[in-house]
Homo-oligomer: A and B are copies of this chain.
Amino acid sequence: MTNIRDVAKSAGVSVTTVSRVLNNHPYVSEEKRKLVLKAIEEMKYHININAVHLTKGVTKLIGVVIPFINHPYFSSILDGIANEARKNDYKLILFQTDYDLDKEIEALEMLRMKQIDSLIICSRECKWSIIEEYETYGPIVVCEDGENLGVKSVYIDHYQAFKTGLDHLVNRGHKRIGYCIGRRTGKNSEQREAAYLDTLEKIDEPVHEDWIFDQAYTIVDGEKVVHRFMHLVERPTALLVTSDQVAAGILMQCSKEHIRIADELSIISFDNHPISEYLQLTTIDLPLEQMGKELLGAVLKPDPVRNRQMPFRLIERKSVKTL
């Protein structure tokens, strides 16, 4: 493999000069620059970026910890991150965790070993204290309320977002409300459950454990939800659904089962992806791509703002009936 020294020799200059033209430094005479360029061309020289990484202690690589990539919620965030990364000339290295703690630690370790300059954690499994510890090795930003701990965060207040949906339903006269969610565990899920329980308490309604439908990730999962819904002795009049996709599945299955959306079952979904407009779903818009963009921004800039909350807003369409 031909290296910078070979080029220098062949061009009759020093390695420094070669390095300078390689990095577009000033203070190189046009004459020598041409000489070097010619040598590079002739010898088919190409820089070894690992040596650069070692020398500079930086890789221009950012790690992204993400549970899945084939879920619209996360792939939207990832899209936002990826686009912004490209703009800033960073590349992404993926740590798909399936919510596995070990995979997350692995990513943290890569930060420590300087394979990546910084780390974006889209879904946290490990303790805050662990993250704080690793922060000495490079910037870390978590997509979850940092709660004014040391860790930087860019996040959506899922408690308030959920509450907004709940309140909308309550204001429309609904009292019998259930919800669909991916998993019951994890910070975001807990926040949503808290909002749910708080609201029920406020309107003095009992909790129906069987009105909480979990394992709802995809459009196909909507089918199961509707099946379970139909077998209920007591049915809710409204459902909060944490993804437009699942809501779409519910709509489709309801149509098959002749359950009239809004009339018999009101739906508020989340994300405001194109499909929700198509289906005229009342939904809560979550600025996912934007959040991805800001996650990357946060990891890059030595911004003093540690906890950045993203806005959300309810978009009224036609899936909620006023009782």
Contacts and interface: CB of A to CB of B under 8 A. Distances in A.
Interface of A: 1, 46-51, 53-54, 57, 59, 61, 69-70, 72, 75-76, 78-79, 82, 86, 91-96, 109-110, 112-115, 218-220, 223, 248-249, 252, 255, 274-275, 278-279
Quickly give the copy total for this chain: 2
Contacts of A110: 49, 91
A95 B93 CA distance: 10
5 contacts: A47-B113, A49-B110, A91-B94, A91-B95, A220-B274
Contact of A76 (B51, B70, B219): B70
A115 B95 CA distance: 17
Contact of A96 (B1, B47, B54, B82): B82
Given A1-B57, A49-B113, A93-B94, 10 more contacts: A48-B54, A50-B53, A50-B59, A53-B53, A70-B72, A70-B78, A82-B94, A92-B93, A219-B278, A252-B279
A78 B69 CA distance: 9
A86 B97 CA distance: 10
A274 B47 contact: no
A253 to B, nearest CB: 9
